[in-house]
């Protein structure tokens, strides 16, 4: 795929460059709680602006239902981008309407504008090719060149990700180039031992990647809500913990495959349990106890890995050459259940391995728990995109940039 440096060498002064970014940041009461994704795309936007381009930044945020919704406005992201760039960033209050056209027309060389949430238009996510294409046509009218740098969205066949690059000269931004380079180190150029840590709530979200990793990883450490389906598949009582009974047979098959192929599949040996889900708003002290993973009371729910498991997982990471981590191993949003996720993050920091934190909640956890991002080899901006790449799937956004 064409790189942004190649594009810059051709000259972009005075050109309208459409940057498909990922500004899908978490918000609380209209305030950004984690600006990591904005900071990740900043180098691409800054470089284009320095080269004299008229930069039009577009993104989705959340899941609005194809119509404007103030709760999902990109206005806070546009404001934060301006702060990071140290310059005024114009904001269009629609995607392809009068405001977008006027805002883009008013851009001077080297200036930046953000248009409103792409998903406020149903054409962005439409499954119908014609409807999606019609929206891409209208977006294309705003620009002369396309730069794809929203890695967190490249696994989506959406108008701004898949259809728009076909309508304009296009190149990959710095973030996408970095993300793809990192993922190649997890697939084609792996240094061993290769350890994968998988957490998160649902095992069904990770089955496809586990299927692929059983032939590639040396060890797979399981935590989070998904661990309880594995424990149940081993015949253990899991109380009222998260459980996907419809996935138990598949999990049993994977455990058998791991044993036959020599992949070490590691499950929690102890967990923190409670009869009440923690209050994540006030973060009031939780009432919990630590029990062996095969002795979870019938009326209790597992909410974090226990101290023995933390030590076990750290030991399994210590000698790794490559570590990929996707998904917190407990309810890290509450301080009483953040210990397991903190222990995993610390183990990655302490290792000499090439470490990759796989986006989404894992990246948020690292920042929330106060870790220095530079202590990790790479923090991905796209959890879902990373997983689908590791599953061996063709990602529409990357395919479009290669076309």
Catalytic residues: 37, 202, 360, 384
**204, 247 contact by CB (below 8 A):** yes
* H/E run at residue 343: helix 339-350
- CA dist 149 and 195 (Å) reads 28
* Cα–Cα nearest to 322, from 193, 236, 220, 163: 193
- Phi/psi of residue 369, each to 5°? -85, 5
| Token reading at 80 | 């934060």
- Phi/psi of residue 149, each to 5°? -145, 15
Strands 270-274, 301-305: parallel, antiparallel or unpaired by DSSP?
antiparallel
- CA dist 171 and 156 (Å) reads 18
Evaluate the CA torsion angle 32, 19, 101, 135 in order and state its sign.
Answer: negative
| Token reading at 194 | 């290769």
């Amino acid at each position: 795929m064409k790189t942004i440096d190649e594009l810059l060498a051709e000259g972009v002064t005075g050109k309208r460059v459409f940057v498909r970014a990922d500004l899908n940041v978490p918000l609380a009461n209209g305030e950004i709680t984690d600006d990591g994704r904005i900071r990740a795309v900043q180098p691409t936007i800054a470089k284009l602006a320095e080269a004299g381009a008229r930069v039009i930044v577009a993104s989705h945020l959340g899941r609005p239902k194809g119509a404007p919704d103030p709760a999902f406005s990109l206005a806070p992201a546009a404001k934060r981008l301006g702060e990071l760039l140290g310059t005024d960033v114009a904001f269009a209050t629609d995607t392809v309407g009068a405001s977008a056209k006027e805002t883009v027309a008013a851009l001077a060389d080297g200036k930046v504008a953000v248009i409103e949430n792409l998903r406020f238009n149903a054409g962005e996510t439409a499954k119908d090719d014609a409807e999606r294409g019609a929206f891409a046509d209208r977006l294309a009218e705003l620009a002369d060149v396309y730069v794809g740098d929203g890695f967190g969205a490249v696994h989506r066949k959406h108008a701004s990700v898949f259809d728009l690059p076909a309508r304009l000269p296009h190149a990959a931004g710095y973030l996408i180039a970095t993300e793809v380079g990192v993922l190649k180190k997890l697939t084609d150029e792996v240094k061993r031992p290769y350890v994968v840590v998988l957490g998160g709530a649902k095992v069904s979200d990770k089955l496809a990647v586990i299927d692929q990793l059983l032939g590639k990883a040396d060890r797979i450490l399981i935590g989070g809500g998904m661990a309880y389906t594995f424990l149940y598949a081993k015949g253990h009582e899991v109380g009222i913990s998260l459980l996907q009974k419809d996935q138990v047979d598949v999990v049993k098959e994977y455990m058998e495959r791991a044993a036959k192929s020599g992949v070490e599949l590691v499950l929690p040996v102890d967990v923190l349990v409670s009869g009440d889900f923690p209050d994540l708003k006030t973060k009031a002290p939780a009432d919990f106890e630590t029990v062996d993973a095969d002795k979870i009371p019938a009326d209790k729910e597992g909410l974090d890995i226990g101290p023995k498991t933390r030590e076990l997982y750290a030991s399994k990471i210590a000698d790794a050459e490559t570590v990929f981590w996707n998904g917190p191993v407990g309810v890290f949003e509450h301080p009483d259940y953040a210990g397991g996720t903190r222990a995993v993050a610390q183990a990655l920091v302490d290792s000499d391995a090439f470490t990759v934190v796989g986006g989404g909640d894992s990246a948020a956890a690292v920042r929330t728990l106060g870790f220095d991002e530079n202590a990790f080899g790479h923090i991905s901006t796209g959890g879902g995109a990373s997983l689908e790449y590791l599953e061996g799937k063709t990602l529409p956004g990357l395919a479009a940039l290669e076309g």
